[in-house]
Amino acid sequence: MRHSKTYNFLSEFGQIAFGIILASIGLKAFLLPNGFLDGGVTGMALLVRTQVDISISYLLILFSIPFLILGYYTVSKRIVLKSIASIIGLALFIHFENFGTITDDKLLISIFGGLFLGAGIGIAIRNGSVLDGSEILGIYLNDKFGFSIGQVILLFNIILFSITAYVISIEVALYSILTYIVTAKVTDLVIEGFEDFIGVTIVSKEYKTIKLAIIKELGAGLTSYKGSKGFGSQGEQDDFDIIHTIINRIDIKKMHRMIDNIDDNAFIVEFDVNNVKGGVLRHYLDKKKNKILPKILE
């Protein structure tokens, strides 16, 4: 068990480190030398960098602080801590690396800058971390007011690119929009939809403990079904509850660790939730008050 935890820890941070490298290549080798922007906090830092002589590394950390504080009250502490380490790692890598400009073609800069940056952000999110705080803002407003994460990020970037068009030029703003579109699409491709929820069915003899952990530790609602006796790897099974829950993809690894700590023989089935109507879990439980927020799975 301990060996498995160590392997998962090293695997997660190894992948996050790889994501940081890809994102820094997109920024340092494509976008930054040519004055192009991306969306989100990264775009804010790049925009300010065009107006003041301050290292992009410092600006990334500075602009990320409010979103990380917000994330402390929105997502788990583990995600916030991993995000802090990831953002600092990205800032350090950008500060010390010295990539030369690969191309002067504006179209290639937009496309490949967005490709590398989107791949890096996507890999980080798949491993429970963020490199751009605008996703945390989206999660927060989704929890509070029900706005979709995509709508929040889109509005954030409309404001950002409008300022870019006014401060720099319309041409740079248009290329930056192209960069953002590529980044967003590649990020979605890597993580198969950051905003999408994933359905999970769990069969375990420790179903009572797992149900309690999902509600209290993961902060998610659930539905349980009465299961009949069956025959599995351990022989005939007694009556038990089959657990069904829907969670955000960013929490899937946390759920795996949680279930492994309770029953590493649990049978888990995961499936994509691409289109839902009514009753689906759109808000997590209020972990401090243990109250169910609106629209939980019925």
Domain ranges of the chain: 2-191, 197-273
Kindly give the residue spans of alpha helices, DSSP state H, lying in 214-288: 252-262
Q: Tell me the pLDDT tens digit for each residue of 7-42.
A: 777 888 899 999 999 999 998 889 888 888 888 888
Residue 156: half-sphere exposure toward Cβ, Cα within 13 Å: 23
The identity of residue 102, as a single letter, is I
CA distance 166 to 162: 6
Q: Write down the pTM of the prediction.
A: 0.66
pLDDT digits (tens, 9 = 90+) for 99-156: 777 888 989 999 999 999 989 988 988 888 888 877 788 777 777 777 766 677 778 8
In whole angstroms, give the CA distance from residue 42 to residue 203: 42
CATH topology of domain 197-273: Alpha-Beta Plaits (3.30.70)
